[in-house]
Amino acid sequence: MTEITKDPRVIIFFAAVIASLLILAPMPGDGGLQTRLKYGLDLEGGSWLQLKLQGAIVQPQLDPIKILEKQFGDALNRPVEVEWRQGSTEYTIAVEGRATKAQVDDLGYPQSTVTPRGNATRITISASPVGVMMNYLQTSLDSDVKYLGPDPLSFEIRSNVTRESLEEILAVVGGTLAPGDAGFSEGVTEETVDETKQILDRKLNRLGLADIKVRVVDNKFILIDLAGVTVTDAQDIVGKPGIFEIRIQTTANESIHVLYGGEIVDVSLPTGDQSGNWGVPFTLSEEGALAFQKAAIDTGATRNRMDHEVSMHLDNELIFSAPLAPDLAGSLEVAPLRSMVAQVGGDSQRAHDLYIHLREGALPVNVEIIGSGQVTAALGDQFKKQVFIAGVLAMLAAGLMVFLRYRNPKIVVPMVATSFSEVLMMLAVAALLNWQLDLAAIAGLIVVIGTGIDHLVIITDELLYEGKMPSGKVYLARLSSAFGIIMAAAATTIVAMLPLFGMGFGAFKSFALITIAGVLIGVFIARPAFGRIVGKIMQADQ
């Protein structure tokens, strides 16, 4: 028997079992002794939501000059003339009478100059043809719009819009949609789905709900399991934004409140200029613009920018701080501005993170709750008990079948103990990696018990081919033959589970994940040790 304890396979096996027991050992907690295992919605109780992302990918055919004529003509209440040179990123608008920069800024063109010329005004805006189109779509649809590419020219509209309503908006400026499904298709891009999931993940993590599952299905749906949370609270958590606040510095360590996130009516995607500087455009309500102007003037931020930085906070956590830009400070001295840009320099990732923070709670696309449900805590406890009973019965049934086959405790006990150890190791891996155990995962555990016993029977039958346990090279040859069969069966099981794992559905993924983990633990740790242990036990008995 001393040879067994020196075998590296046996040493690894026992080390893994001891580590698993330490990982799963109950620890004192708020509610008494608690293990590190995390339970899913099925076993813990809670609620689930199914969200459908609303949006469309479109290919509009538009003339930027007609758009500007419409926008500025309506805003100034008189005809305008628009000029643009091919390849330029500037448009010039000429209009009779006076126009103010505030009027231009309110149209969503903050980078502009307004020059009076006699009885007329010359307005120069810095915008590309694509930028003009995006501006028109955003303001007309009251929605975020993302530019997808030039060939063909396409945009992603991040709100619920129909083809008919969009065609009406385009017709106002002489535009149309490309014919067929290419011109209008429901859905959003994979990047937008990931962005939505990222916002939900961040929000749930901030609320202390890091174990919540947020899963994406087919780039159209998001499934959320909130263990221990009611349906009403779940809908509130998903739909409620974080507490966003803008403050302005008064002294070195002091600042005053300016406005809350409710005054931010729109946040656009980060944009970069020709110098590589990035910014996040956002729009304030009229009340918010007045409050921001008053605070900027009263604190001296418009005259002494560097000593009075504007800071943004999300749930009291600082996420951005910078002085006012020189042109913004000058404009605020004259009039309130609704359209602003939070400049972050050359860091595009920081711009993206700020955009996520500004949008936190307000998802990048509209979502529709198409399904919801709840599992009560009492029902979850009942499921736990039933699952435990099912696992015990599965282990006993497997042990009984093995006993009926071999009728030798020296074979049956190591076999059942090995199978039980595999369950311990799988649970320890789940606890270590914070996997949530749901009914599907438990089903995977029971499947692994069955396949594990099958593999142990294969090993035993190969070793007892002639009715007794061989030794020396014959023993090693038969053990190697058994493992050839086991490895082929294990590979088949893993390959069969991969499509379920890749589908993304929670139940399928949990089942596949625990099954794959169990098979790998079995073939690389538990079953090699069993082959050595049962061989030495039977050889010593002969």
Six token digits for residue 338: 């609704």
Q: CA-CA-CA-CA torsion for 521, 381, 510, 49, nearest 10 degrees?
A: -160
- Runs of H (alpha helix) within 250-312: 286-299
Centre a 10 Å sphere on the Cβ of residue 32 and count the other Cβ atoms it contains: 7
DSSP 3-state of 493? helix
Tokens of 508: 């399928």
The whole-angstrom separation of Cα 230 and Cα 472 is: 63
Q: Are 341 and 280 in contact, with CB atoms under 8 Å apart?
A: yes
Q: At what angle do helices 439-463 and 472-503 cross, to 10 degrees?
A: 160
Using CA atoms, how far apart are residues 1 and 533, in angstroms rounded to an integer?
9
Query: What is residue 524's DSSP assignment?
Result: I
- Report the amino acid identity of residue 191: E
* Tally of residues, the chain: 542
In this prediction, residue 4 carries a pLDDT of 67
Report yes or no on whether pTM surpasses 0.75: no
Of 290, 292, 288, whose CA–CA distance to 262 is shortest?
Answer: 288
Q: Which residues pair with 121 in a beta bridge?
A: 95, 116
Domains of the chain plus CATH, in order, are 2-45+376-541 (1.20.1640.10), 48-52+190-239+369-373 (3.30.70.3220), 58-186 (no CATH), 243-352 (3.30.1360.200)
Cβ neighbourhood burial of 174 (10 Å; 0-12, 13-18, 19+): middle
For each successive 10 residues of the chain (542 residues), what is the average pLDDT?
A: 72 92 81 73 72 88 93 90 87 90 81 87 90 90 86 89 93 92 86 79 60 69 74 67 78 85 79 81 86 91 90 77 87 87 79 71 69 66 78 85 86 90 91 81 86 89 75 82 89 87 67 88 91 79 60
Q: Quote the CA–CA distance of 320 and 32 in Å, as a whole number.
A: 41
The pLDDT of residue 466 is 66
According to the model, what pLDDT value does residue 82 have?
Answer: 92
Mapped onto helix, strand or coil, the DSSP state of residue 400 is helix
For residues 109 and 128, the answer to whether their CB atoms sit within 8 Å is no
pLDDT at 14: 92
Confidence at residue 87, expressed as pLDDT on a 0 to 100 scale? 81
With CA atoms as reference, report the closest residue to 492 among 528, 456, 461, 523. 523
The answer for residues whose C-beta is within 8 angstroms of residue 376's C-beta and 6 or more apart is: 45
